[in-house]
Structure 1
Amino acid sequence: MGGFSIWHWLVLLAIVALVFGTKKIRNIGSDLGSAVKGFKEGMKDPNAKETEPTETPRVATGETIDVTAKEKSGTTH
């Protein structure tokens, strides 16, 4: 009652490939890989700083920002 040898695993793999087909097995593998990737992305710390900026800085685009506009409008949040 020892472990399975390499020949047992090869026969089992051949039977699974015959039953499900290689295309379905490949799809299951890619679905599992994308699920693991999504899980890793979800586990990242949302407060951690990103290495790349998500938005182009306004200085680089040539736009100017008028900071005093909010102060003059008199609206408070």
Structure 2
Amino acid sequence: MKVLMAGIGIGFQELLVIFLIIALLFGAKKIPELARGLGQAMKEFKKGMKDEESKEESKTTKVENSEEEKSKISSPEVIKTAKKEK
């Protein structure tokens, strides 16, 4: 059974070896702390990405709204109405 991680085929045996190396380097007590820290980092990263996407959406909406207002102002009907009022 192959597990795909970032486009690389890594099987169960490879994951087991990686886990054992991590356990030897950090010790069994540190692994939950590392996993918790990794989870929090991923959560913050996703939150940052969402914030950036919402900022981009609001900028796009503002630009679209200003373009609509410009097109309304420069439409032939508005120009004709403005000339008639003078």
Superposed pair shares fold, TM > 0.5: no
TM-score bucket of the superposed structures, by smaller chain: 0.3 to 0.5
Tell me the TM-score normalized by structure 2: 0.37
Which of the pair is proportionally richer in strand? 2
TM-score (norm 1): 0.39
